């Protein structure tokens, strides 16, 4: 008695919709008027739109401070962490999941003070 196993063909991959600023925007920024983070976020949206990355493979990370809000404004995976520890987390995610696009946002404290030792 022999058993025959049939495997269904994988579903055809549907073309992905074009990534737009509207599609990647998750929330309205709440920084103070005149803050430079508005320009950084606007530039980041332009980069995502130009590169046409899959938003399900976008990871935004940040430490503490004004820049810690970035993950909340991007439709994708993201989190903010204790002061100065976003750098090693970004490194770990990049090593463990090279298929993801990891973006790290930080301020002077995260990059030059407490978090600088991780660079």
Tens of pLDDT, residues 46-105 = 999 999 988 889 999 998 888 888 888 888 899 888 877 888 889 999 999 999 999 999
Is 15 contained in some domain?
no
pTM for this predicted structure: 0.74
Task: Please give the residue that has the higher pLDDT: either 99 or 119.
Answer: 99
Is 104 contained in some domain?
yes
How much is the pLDDT for 4?
53
Residue 65, phi-psi category: left (phi > 0), alpha (psi -120 to 50), beta (remainder): left
Q: 40: pLDDT confidence band, cut at 50, 70 and 90?
A: very high
User: To which residue do tokens 């430490």 refer?
Assistant: 63
Is 29 contained in some domain?
yes
Measured at the CA of 20, the angle between CA 15 and CA 22, to 5 degrees, comes to 125
Is 14 contained in some domain?
no
Number of domains in the chain: 1
Q: 1: pLDDT confidence band, cut at 50, 70 and 90?
A: low
Is 8 contained in some domain?
no
Is 13 contained in some domain?
no
How much is the pLDDT for 97?
96
Q: Which domain holds residue 27?
A: 21-118
How much is the pLDDT for 99?
96
Is a pLDDT exceeding 80 seen at residue 25? no
């Amino acid at each position: 008695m022999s058993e025959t196993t049939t495997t269904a063909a994988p579903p055809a991959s549907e073309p992905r919709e074009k990534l737009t600023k509207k599609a990647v925007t998750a929330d309205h920024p709440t920084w103070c008027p005149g803050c430079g983070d508005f320009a950084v976020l606007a530039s980041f949206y332009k980069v995502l739109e130009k590169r046409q990355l899959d938003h399900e493979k976008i990871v935004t990370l940040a430490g503490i401070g004004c820049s810690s809000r970035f993950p909340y404004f991007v439709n994708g995976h993201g989190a903010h962490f204790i002061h100065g520890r976003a750098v090693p987390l970004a490194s770990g995610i990049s090593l463990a999941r090279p298929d993801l696009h990891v973006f790290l946002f930080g301020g002077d404290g995260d990059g030059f003070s407490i978090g600088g030792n991780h660079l």
